[in-house]
Structure 1
């Protein structure tokens, strides 16, 4: 018959493997707790530490803007509207008219600034619109004329129930313009930003953390920051001209992209923290 082993009869080998098993169990438990804590702290579904989201696929034209809606990310690649999950996995894409610019999410719909005419023409000749898509299916729902956007609609943001459209700028002008519309896209007001000249105007716009963020092209690229009334708070040599979006935890998502003549154009997102003195800092 088997004789039970008492504590003083445990061999060194048994003690070693028992300790190893206990240590492995504690390590696994700690890892699971850390993962659970990460999920709790990710109010938008994104990790709290540094991360990167690469949009699956490549596209004929470059990235114009991004927005977040629910658990999805929406990417505007000029002639392709793309929907991915929060890891960048492709869920749906559709061809769209050239030029689809920056976009925003509101109440289950995607709103995209569209110009079918010329950009940056001192005499106008733009053909500015906002196209509306269902966020779930990407089916087109409506088109709203925004012809007040004289130099071409290129970006859009939403704040306090109204939409704000930005766009192109001729070389001769030393200020930027924001065109305000109500929720039915009736024109409300043209706002002036005393920003100085920015190359080709403003490309991207979002209202986040009590201020407006505007991305502009240039060498170097420029980020404009204003208060809710478009009074300047900062002009920074930072690039968010391919997309910027706010997160509920106080951070921003900043887009970047590359184009290759043979492979096409790609896009990615990284988190950033707002900074009063520097505009924002990419979270490394």
Structure 2
């Protein structure tokens, strides 16, 4: 990605409003992809709407790999101690948003809500009941054969993990709560830090040590919106938003 392209992401607002709130973002070299729970949206880096499609409730966080979008989907209950989730990964062509495949990920016991990609493997995260003091990551190969359940000694986070990305030798996980929480681990899910930073609506890797963090809000009469800003790792805060002049 060129410096000029990265600067376009300085403070991008997604064109339009949508019936349900933002769940996650990902990018390729030309576009931003936004998951608004029941609407999948593609914009350019300036936020101009290129394409949108209706999708099943609940489409969560998503990742881009090899020309395709992979979205964590739960058609059942979230955060149920007894399970009762119905977890999937839906695959879309990034160019057209045409659905290509659906992969069952029923091992994600409390509901698939987020997904990341690293070294040929997909990693799915999701819900969490009250009182559970750790989070879980479910590892799949490139064909979505289940490989392993990982444990993050994170302490409890409200409703589990919402968003995930692997960037700059770290996993970055966005979580709900009051305050919102960012969990950072090494490549093997060993804790590196727990911070009060809100990337619960989307987190994505950028070059040069930066990341892209999403925000959004809903208004009863207008619907829900989304935006992204560039952030950099910070020893005290976990991540810190950059001013546009700092993004050169």
TM bin, normalised by shorter chain, reads: over 0.9
Q: What RMSD over aligned residues (CA atoms) do the two structures have, in Å?
A: 1.2
Alignment of 1:265-276 (within 5 A): 265-276=224-235
In proportion to residue count, which structure has more helix?
1
**Matches of 2:114 and 2:18, distance apart in 1:** 20
Give deviations 1:56-102, integer Å, cap 9, x for gaps.
00000000000001200000000000000000000000000000000
2:10 is the counterpart of 1:46: no
Q: Distance in 2 between matches of 1:278 and 1:101?
A: 25
Task: Give the Cα–Cα distance (whole angstroms) in 2 for the partners of residues 97 and 231 of structure 1.
Answer: 34
Residue in structure 1 matching 2:201, options 232, 242, 248: 242
**TM, length-normalised to structure 1:** 0.84
Partner of residue 220, structure 1 = 179
Runs of at least 4 residues off by over 4 Å? none
How many angstroms apart in 1 are the aligned matches of 2:116 and 2:46?
24
What secondary structure, in the 3-state scheme, does the structure 2 residue paired with 1:96 have?
strand
- Counterpart of 1:93 (choices 49, 52, 56) is 52
> 2 CA distance for matches of 1:276 and 1:143?
39
Aligned counterparts of 1:187 and 1:213: Cα–Cα separation in 2: 22
Q: 1:166 to 1:40 in 2, by over 3 A?
A: closer
SS in 2 for 1:84: strand
Query: With CA pairs under 8 Å and 6+ residues apart, which has the higher RCO, 1 or 2?
Result: 2
The residue number in structure 1 matching 2:246 is none
**1:40, CA displacement in angstroms?**
5.6
Rounded Cα–Cα distance in structure 1 between residues aligned with 2:88 and 2:136: 16
CA distance in 2, matches of 1:183, 1:205: 17
Residue 23 (structure 2) aligns with: 64
- Structure 1 residues 170 and 208: alpha-carbon distance in aligned structure 2, compared to 1, 3 A threshold: same
Larger of the two Rg values belongs to structure: 1
Aligned counterpart, 1:138: 97
Within the alignment, does 1:76 sit opposite 2:35 as a pair? Answer: yes
- Within a 5 Å distance, the mapping from 1:200-211 to structure 2 comes to 200-211=159-170
Name 2:82's counterpart in structure 1. 123
User: Unmatched 5+ residue regions in structure 2?
Assistant: 244-248
2:241 counterpart of 1:282: yes
Which residue of the partner structure matches residue 69 of structure 2? 110
* Structure showing the higher strand proportion among its residues: 2
CA distance in 2, matches of 1:87, 1:278: 27
